[in-house]
Amino acid sequence: MRAKSFERKSDINLIATTEKERAVLIGVATRALSGTLRESELGANYGLATDRSQRANALRNRVEDYLEELQLLAESAGAEVVATLIQERQSIDPAYFIGSGKARELAEFVENERINLVVFDDDLSAVQVRNLERIIKCKIVDRSGIILDIFASRARTREAKTQVELAQLQYMLPRLTRQWTHLSKQFGGIGTKGPGETQIETDRRAIRTRISHLREKIKHIAKERKEQRKGRDKFPRVALVGYTNAGKSTLLNWFSSADVLVEDKLFATLDSTVRAVSLSPAHKILLSDTVGFIRKLPHNLVASFKSTLEEVVESDILLHVVDISHPLFEDQIEVVNETLEELHAANKPTIFVFNKIDRLEDRSIVALLGKQYPNAVFISASRSINLGSLQTKIMELLDDDIAEQTMTFSQADHHIISQIHDMAEIVDKQYHGEQIVIRFRMNSIHADKLKKALAKKHAV
């Protein structure tokens, strides 16, 4: 639901607010963005009666939706959004992003309305930040800065704090100007959390040294995670992925009673959680929940959280959770798919889990999406609607490509035999002296795990 606003001069919408760090959000509608509009956004009759104003309205609606998400980000970081501004341009201005004229107009608005934070929905270069700060006398923060700030405030474990700090320092390094380094001392608050004031005041060499130290620390954490994963190979691993706030943690709690934090806010969960889940006596899995993805997720953040996201990379099945009630859920699917490509995890068997169907006003979209995504389930995790169908769908995928095999083992191979009992349906078992012949039915996921376990045994 959009915040209440009323029209101001120069497309600035003012929003009623309480006393907090006051922020104005900036979005830019360009020709490049216009090319990404979907037919559903342009309307059913677009193309029959081509109308420039129709495309312009659709473009503006898209940017408004983006700013609505940016407002959630800003509020999650602790700001009070008092105004939004949308500028329509042919292209981004390389010096000021919004152009010097609009920057001066914004500076006047900032002064009159006592704004102390301007947030751009796109990433700014160091030159753009420096030029804008010369005109606009308040903090200038871009989308990546806000996201990193939220991650810093949400980080609880040693691993999360280390990963966030590394991402923040890598983000800071190319933007480190004299004015920027004293940002924390001058302003404090949003956009300056994380490494801390003393770290921001250090020079580039000190930051590079710290980055090197953090990278080594993360390597050590990655080794620890690898050790933790060692004993999990005998069960199929299923990972929940999706856009932030899609309902992944609610789903994990339903399956496993994991008591994972569930809040209606962005990035409520940063650390991965893995739980053993018994879908049926013959179907046991390890289900993991990881950090949610978001549009324009900073590349450094993805790289820094690589050890956490290994749960996705090493999974056998992905449950791609989608908030079907969100107006831009198709864009969110694309964002998640692009991030999975970046992680080299896009080709895994995937079940699309369209969540929050209880919030839909028009249910006709369900039939359309069912045709577009054959391997999909439509649920409400919070109200436990149709979760049995999801459970069945997972078991069907686990049972895909089941084949019967017969193998002979020494009775001393207790570990391998135990794994087969855990992962397969035993058809027949015969003892011949010191050897045991086992005939069993096993799916392709388990067969691959057994193959790796046998290879490891023979390598010893």
Which carries the bigger pLDDT value, residue 331 or residue 189?
Answer: 331
Residues 6+ apart with CB under 8 A from 133: 140, 179
The answer on pLDDT for 196 being more than 60 is no
Percent of the chain with pLDDT over 70: 80
Give residue 420's pLDDT.
Answer: 85
Instruction: Work out the mean pLDDT of the chain and round it to a whole number.
Output: 81
Give residue 271's pLDDT.
Answer: 63
Percent of the chain with pLDDT over 90: 34
Instruction: Specify whether the backbone of 405 is left (phi greater than 0), alpha (psi in -120 to 50) or beta.
Output: beta
The answer on pLDDT for 124 being more than 70 is yes
Q: Which two tokens stand for residue 186?
A: 């001058």
Q: How many CB atoms lie within 10 A of CB 36?
A: 11
Give residue 411's pLDDT.
Answer: 84
Give residue 394's pLDDT.
Answer: 94
Lowest mean pLDDT among 11-20, 66-75, 280-289, 345-354: 11-20
Q: How many CB atoms lie within 10 A of CB 456?
A: 11
Which carries the bigger pLDDT value, residue 446 or residue 394?
Answer: 394
**Per-residue confidence at 32, pLDDT binned at 50, 70, 90?**
confident
User: What whole-number distance in Å separates Cα of residue 28 and Cα of residue 387?
Assistant: 41
Q: Which two tokens stand for residue 151?
A: 């991650």
Closest CA to 247 of 357, 360, 140, 173: 357
Q: Which two tokens stand for residue 82?
A: 């008092």
Give residue 423's pLDDT.
Answer: 77
Per-residue model confidence as pLDDT tens digits over 199-242: 445 567 888 898 999 999 988 887 887 777 666 667 888 999 99
The answer on pLDDT for 415 being more than 50 is yes
Question: In the chain, which segments carry CATH 3.40.50.11060?
Answer: 6-141
**Per-residue confidence at 136, pLDDT binned at 50, 70, 90?**
very high
Question: In the chain, which segments carry CATH 3.30.70?
Answer: 403-459
**Per-residue confidence at 45, pLDDT binned at 50, 70, 90?**
very low
Give residue 3's pLDDT.
Answer: 40
Give residue 52's pLDDT.
Answer: 67
Give residue 258's pLDDT.
Answer: 61
Which carries the bigger pLDDT value, residue 15 or residue 303?
Answer: 303
In angstroms, the Cα distances linking 382 to 264, 360, 369 are 11, 14, 21
User: What whole-number distance in Å separates Cα of residue 412 and Cα of residue 460?
Assistant: 15
Contact 189, 144 (CB under 8 A): no
CB-based burial, 241-254: b 16+ in 10 Å, e otherwise: bbbbbbbbbbbbbb
Q: Which two tokens stand for residue 346?
A: 């896009």
- One DSSP character per residue, 20-83 reads SEEEEEEEEE-HHHHTT--HHHH-TTTTTS--HHHHHHHHHHHHHHHHHHHHHHHHHTTEEEEE
Domain 235-398 grouped into CATH 3.40.50.300: yes
The answer on pLDDT for 413 being more than 50 is yes
**Per-residue confidence at 188, pLDDT binned at 50, 70, 90?**
low
Question: In the chain, which segments carry CATH 3.40.50.300?
Answer: 235-398
**Per-residue confidence at 1, pLDDT binned at 50, 70, 90?**
very low
Q: Which two tokens stand for residue 291?
A: 């950090």
The answer on pLDDT for 145 being more than 50 is yes
Per-residue model confidence as pLDDT tens digits over 253-308: 899 876 655 555 566 556 678 888 989 877 888 999 888 888 888 777 787 677 66
Average of per-residue pLDDT across 242-255 = 91
User: What whole-number distance in Å separates Cα of residue 333 and Cα of residue 308?
Assistant: 21
The answer on pLDDT for 24 being more than 60 is yes
Which carries the bigger pLDDT value, residue 438 or residue 37?
Answer: 438
User: What whole-number distance in Å separates Cα of residue 272 and Cα of residue 156?
Assistant: 12
User: What whole-number distance in Å separates Cα of residue 458 and Cα of residue 450?
Assistant: 12
User: What whole-number distance in Å separates Cα of residue 103 and Cα of residue 366?
Assistant: 45
**Per-residue confidence at 180, pLDDT binned at 50, 70, 90?**
very low
Lowest mean pLDDT among 60-69, 210-219, 301-310, 340-349: 301-310
Give residue 187's pLDDT.
Answer: 43
Give residue 233's pLDDT.
Answer: 65
Give residue 41's pLDDT.
Answer: 54
- One DSSP character per residue, 262-310 reads --SSTT---S-EEEEEEEETTEEEEEEE-PPB-TT--HHHHHHTHHHHH
Phi, psi of 238 (to 5 degrees): -115, 125
Helix (H, G, I), strand (E, B) or coil at 418: helix
Per-residue model confidence as pLDDT tens digits over 80-112: 999 999 998 889 999 999 999 999 999 999 999
**Architecture of the domain made up of 6-141:** 3-Layer(aba) Sandwich (3.40)
Per-residue model confidence as pLDDT tens digits over 357-408: 999 988 889 999 999 998 899 999 999 999 999 999 999 888 876 788 899 9
Q: Is the dihedral of CA 241, 243, 246, 249 positive or negative?
A: positive
Domain 403-459 grouped into CATH 3.30.70: yes
Give residue 329's pLDDT.
Answer: 93
Burial of residue 302, with CB atoms counted within 10 A of its CB: 0-12 exposed, 13-18 middle, 19 or more buried:
middle
Give residue 317's pLDDT.
Answer: 93
Average of per-residue pLDDT across 354-359 = 96
Residues 6+ apart with CB under 8 A from 413: 457
Q: Which residue has the tokens 């390890």?
A: 286
Lowest mean pLDDT among 250-259, 408-417, 451-460: 451-460
Helix (H, G, I), strand (E, B) or coil at 357: helix
